[in-house]
Chain A
Amino acid sequence: MKIRIGLGSCGIAAGGRKIKSKFEEIFKEKNIDIEIISTGCIGMCYYEPLVDIIDDNGTYTYANVTQSMVEEIVDEHILKGCPIEKYIVSTDKKPYPQLKKQVRIVLRNCGIINPEKIEDYIASGGYTALKKVLMEMTPQEVIEEVKISGLRGRGGAGFPTWFKWNAARASKGDEKYIVCNADEGDPGAFMDRSVIEGDPHSLIEGMIIAAYAIGAHNGFVYVRAEYPLAIERLNLAIEQAKDNNLLGKNILNSGFDFELKIKMGAGAFVCGEETALIASLEGERGMPRLKPPFPAQSGFFGKPTNINNVETYANVPWILKNGGAEFAKYGTEKSKGTKVFALAGKIKRGGLIEVPMGMTLREVIYDIGGGIKNDKEFKAVQMGGPSGGCIPKELLDTPVDYESINKTGAIMGSGGMIVMDETTCMVDITRFFLDFTCKESCGKCIYCRIGTKRMLEILNKITQGNGTLEDIEMLEELCYSVKDGSLCGLGQTAPNPALTTLKYFKDEYIAHIKDKKCPAGQCKSLISYKINAEKCVGCTMCSKQCPVNAIHGERKQTHIIDQDKCIKCGNCIKICKFNAIYTE
């Protein structure tokens, strides 16, 4: 018998470590000798803390485990062998319904193996692809295999991976570099974090294979400093790989040398851009430069450099092990394989998922994600973070592949998928993203630096109820100017949230401007709290809770909100048990 406990960042935040020590405590007390394995995130973040009990009959998964449940699980399941049905969400015979539609290539080991043990990774078939590559294949054959797989960059732009590798290989010079972009800066995205936390060796193996393909002997993983656990586990994995002759000199006696180092990012969204990332690696301010020359020709200190993101590299060992053609069986004509998404926002089952390309957004959100929280009305899904856009209800049947998503005005992005319901204001969310890009603009290009600021000012004006119809025109004009006038991806895509919401939700902008109303009831300046006289029973709860004494009324009589005093904090609406308070 074995126990697995999910200890990714999400598991820990939900209290996973306490659950683990509770098990240890009870085991010590009762003299039980069972191995407890810490794993990364399986992706069911809404079920954390998750505990798997693996006995002779298979795997049983317990969800939302509490301290008192631990005692029950030990007594009933572990000691008496009776699984506790009411706490179990998944077994081998009846797996999570939402797992059925998923295909796990990148996440093949996440939540299953112990990320802190290289033996676990090797036992699950890890580093066999590397052996095959180093012993049996030429670099050109490796690139050819990746070409057959149709793998495209998973960082967002979707550039064919083999093409980049080939360009870096073809570049002259014997000093070349391989870089992994793990500066996952998109707010609302956590795919890379989960992969590094849950299966760091798949990234390392992918990078060694890429290094062999292009002829590089040095590599860097550029990780966000905000991911302390990922850095810790990656560090450990690199040390273990060195001890096993998988990194360093003469790897597996093949004669191939490769060193891998971690560089911590210091918190700048723009460093997700290739040339800015290189500047940051060199210890400078992360400011992008004009391309060409591309990093494949002139990258880190002017040497040919190949940059891919975490998910791209994590696909590589699987592709080399199972063959490019096997990978290409999944997906659509132009977008092969699978894509990992971080489902979050107003969704029932938020977490990390991996689906074959070409699945529709509806299937992802409803069949896998379980639909909208509290069964509210779906309004939009935001893809691609601050560089992406909002896709409306009418386009829910759009297949998830690079071309189809681009057509909507959003982008595939690195995989953040934020679901929004009727209570999310689309003007406010646009303002939110512009606020982000405005702060994160490095300031090099005037349109990006000042244009985003002017756009933000307009959006602030509209959400405060002071907008005019001319503002919409100006906003649109600025969108195109910022797109055209910016050097790098940050500025070129910063207007996307505004452009897509103007395209699909213009009526919301107009409601803010003409009717001075926020249809989602979110923009504080445009709503007022009122009391429904028929529902109010005069319990006085709301007037007691009001921080500014704006609610008056005698006990058992209808209360009234003084609109001049009301600061719109929303306390009353939350406290009212009779749903008597509404916004207008």
Chain B
Amino acid sequence: MGCSCDKKLALNFDDKNVDLSLMEPILKKYEGQSASLISILQETQGLYGYLPLSALNLIAERTGNKRAKIYGIATFYAQFRLNPTGKYIILQCQGTACHVNGSEEVSRAICEELNIKPGETTEDGIFTLEDVACLGCCSLAPVMMINGEAYGNLTPDSARKIIREIYEKERRGNSDEN
């Protein structure tokens, strides 16, 4: 404790108001089980939508591992995120079939539409954009997946349209609440 690296690391992450007590069931479930670190991290991410630094520290403490090891695993795998995500996560497929069928142009259109780069979240917190290696829907290339639902045979225009429709839905949803 008291290492200055901790403070520096903490500055890089948005880590406010994380209720760590929510993690108790997960930690209890895997208590004493070796080989479960990745599962713990996956379930923690399922809980918060990302891996808060304080949660990583708690996992280290409770599983008896060094913080560096937990951080190492969390940054090794593409699935783990250390920052909060938007309400909708857009996974743009960067697979071979998508590449050959023009995913680059689709990707450019999406970035333009959202005004963010892959790996970033829009300011209003609605969309997070991410690149993935392959979604396995190659015969429908180019493909993207938004919150688990796949959209195929994309063109720059159809991709924009899909995003605008979700935005529209969000806006309407908000005004309904008001």
Interface of A toward B, CB cutoff 8 Å: 9-10, 12-14, 45-46, 48, 184-190, 193, 225-228, 263-269, 280-286, 301, 342-346, 350-351, 382, 385, 416, 418, 420, 424, 429, 432-433, 436, 440, 442, 569-570
Partner of B76, one of A286, A351, A382, A433: A286
Knowing A185-B133, A188-B134, say if A424 contacts B77 (CB, 8 Å): no
**B2 CB within 8 Å of chain A:** no
Instruction: Say whether B97 contacts A344, CB under 8 Å.
Output: yes
In angstroms, Cα B155 to Cα A223, docked, is 30
| Size of the chain B interface, CB-CB below 8 angstroms | 41
- 6 further A-B contacts with Cβ under 8 Å, apart from A345-B100, A442-B76, are A10-B137, A10-B139, A13-B143, A266-B38, A285-B76, A570-B105
| Bound form: Cα–Cα A228–B79 in Å | 13
Contact of A263 among B39, B101, B139, B149 (CB under 8 A): B39
Nearest-neighbor residue (CB-CB) of B63 within chain A = A283
Taken together as a complex, chains A and B put the C-alpha atoms of A569 and B112 apart, in Å, by 13
Does A187 contact B134, Cβ atoms closer than 8 Å? yes
Contact, CB under 8 Å: A382 / B138: no
Whether B73 is near chain A, meaning CB under 8 Å from some CB there, is yes
Inter-subunit contact A436/B133 (CB<8 Å): yes
B56 adjacent to chain A (CB < 8 Å): no
Alpha-carbon distance between A284 and B39 when the two chains are bound, in angstroms: 11
B97 and A266 contacting across the interface, CB-CB below 8 Å: no
Interface centre among A283, A344, A346, A420 (most CB of B within 10 A): A283
Check B94 against A283 for contact (C-beta < 8 Å): no
Q: Does B58 contact A (CB under 8 A)?
A: no
Task: Contact check, B139 vs A418: say whether CB atoms are below 8 A apart.
Answer: no
Contacting residues, chain B, for A436 (C-beta < 8 A): 94, 133
Q: With the chains together, A346 CA to B78 CA distance in Å?
A: 29
Residues of B within 8 A of A (CB): 34-39, 41-42, 72-73, 76-80, 91, 94-101, 105, 132-141, 143, 148-152
CA distance A488 to B132 in the complex (A): 23
Query: B31 CB to closest chain A CB, in angstroms?
Result: 14
Q: Return the 6 tightest CB-CB contacts between A and B, nearest first.
A: A267-B78, A350-B139, A45-B139, A266-B77, A187-B95, A344-B138
Task: Contact check, A13 vs B151: say whether CB atoms are below 8 A apart.
Answer: yes
Given contacts A193-B136, A226-B136, contact A13 B78 (CB under 8 A): no
Residue of A nearest to B72 (CB): A285
Known: A418-B97, A418-B100. A264 touches B39 (CB 8 A): yes
Q: How far is the CA of A342 from the CA of B139 in the complex (A)?
A: 8
Q: A13-B150, A13-B151, A266-B41 are in contact. Are A189 and B77 (CB under 8 A)?
A: no
Complex contact A424–B78 (CB within 8 A)? no
B140 A45 Cβ-Cβ under 8 A: yes
Cβ of A418 and Cβ of B96 under 8 Å apart? yes
> Which residue in B77, B91, B94 is a CB contact (below 8 Å) of A268?
B77
Identify 23 residue pairs between A and B in the complex whose beta-carbon atoms are under 8 Å apart, listed by A's number: A12-B149, A12-B150, A13-B149, A13-B150, A14-B152, A184-B136, A186-B134, A187-B97, A188-B97, A190-B137, A266-B77, A268-B77, A281-B35, A283-B34, A285-B73, A344-B141, A345-B96, A345-B100, A345-B138, A346-B101, A350-B139, A436-B133, A442-B76
